[in-house]
């Protein structure tokens, strides 16, 4: 089982698919963090690699503009 997982992870096609999945999400998340002035989020998103899970969470939940209550 462990050898099978290592074979999958060392496959160049699998690594390319991971890159094609994560890079666009990371780019959008970093762009939104910069646009919203979220410096801490920008640093976290830049440093951590979570297969786009953190980036997707930021984009759809944390980057929403706060509604002004007047």
Task: Specify the pLDDT at position 39.
Answer: 95
Alpha helix stretches (DSSP H) within the chain: 2-9, 12-35, 39-47, 53-57
Which residue has 């160049």 as its token pair? 12
Model confidence at 68, pLDDT cuts 50, 70, 90, reads: low
Model confidence pLDDT, tens digit, residues 19-42: 899 999 999 999 999 999 999 999
What's the pLDDT band for 70 if we cut at 50, 70, 90? low
**Count of beta carbons in the 10 Å neighbourhood of residue 35:** 9
Give residue 52's region: left, alpha or beta (phi > 0; psi -120 to 50). left
Q: Where are the domains of the chain?
A: 20-70
pTM to 2 decimal places: 0.74
The CA radius of gyration of the chain, in Å to the nearest whole number, is 16
């Amino acid at each position: 089982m462990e050898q099978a997982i290592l074979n999958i992870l060392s496959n160049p096609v699998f690594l390319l698919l991971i890159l094609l999945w994560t890079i666009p999400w990371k780019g959008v998340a970093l762009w939104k963090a910069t646009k919203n002035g979220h410096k801490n989020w920008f640093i976290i998103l830049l440093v951590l690699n979570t297969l786009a899970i953190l980036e997707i969470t930021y984009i759809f939940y944390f980057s929403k503009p706060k509604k002004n209550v007047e």
